[in-house]
Amino acid sequence: MRKAISIIIYGLLMAIVYLVYTGVFSLVEILLSIAIGLIIAYIFAGDIITDLSKLSLSRIYHAVAYLIKYFTVIEARAHWSVIKIILSRNTNPKPAIVRVPFKADNPYTIVFVANSITNTPGTVVVDMDENKKAYYVHWLTPISLNDDDAYRSISLEFEKHLTKVFE
């Protein structure tokens, strides 16, 4: 039963993507999109959806709020700081590869925090260690080389929001 519901939800999302991409909204096209979406969902839903009971409106609300905040405030600030370095007269930053610990357990949280760190200019995740629970981040303008200070200024904000979405 639970598997059927997850297949239906995932299949309808795939059908919407298909409809948007083809741009034709006739009845035949809608039925075809639902059929293809259900086939794809039957193959992949078991791997992608791990726990359906976590699906709730508050998580979706937190995800949308995080996306809006990330793509307006956080990205703009990070872009501006790197653009200032590029256009400054003397381009000689002193980067460092620092260790940034994380506390999350869910693989989705780990991946999305790493993607958020890399998507902001100025920090790139070079490597990660799942046993030690740490990312290794190449940081263009390091404020501190200490693990905890790096965690506070790089990934605390991402992890705080994303644990509300995925954990």
Q: Return all residues near 145 (Cβ < 8 A) that are at least 6 apart.
A: 96, 98
Is position 133 an interface residue for another protein (rule: CB under 8 A)?
Answer: no
Token pair of 162, please? Answer: 């994303």
Is position 144 an interface residue for another protein (rule: CB under 8 A)?
Answer: no
Which C-beta is closer to another protein: that of 93 or that of 106? 93
Backbone angles phi, psi at 113, to 5 degrees: -65, -40
Token pair of 48, please? Answer: 């992608």
In terms of Cα–Cα distance, which of 11, 6, 14 is closest to 53? 6
Is position 50 an interface residue for another protein (rule: CB under 8 A)?
Answer: no
Which C-beta is closer to another protein: that of 28 or that of 87? 87
Is position 56 an interface residue for another protein (rule: CB under 8 A)?
Answer: no
Query: Are 138 and 99 contacting, i.e. CB atoms less than 8 angstroms apart?
Result: no
Question: Would you tell me which residues interact with another protein (CB under 8 A)?
Answer: 17, 20-21, 23, 25, 71, 75, 79, 82-83, 86-87, 91, 93-99, 114-115, 118-122, 124-127, 129, 132, 136, 138, 140, 142, 145
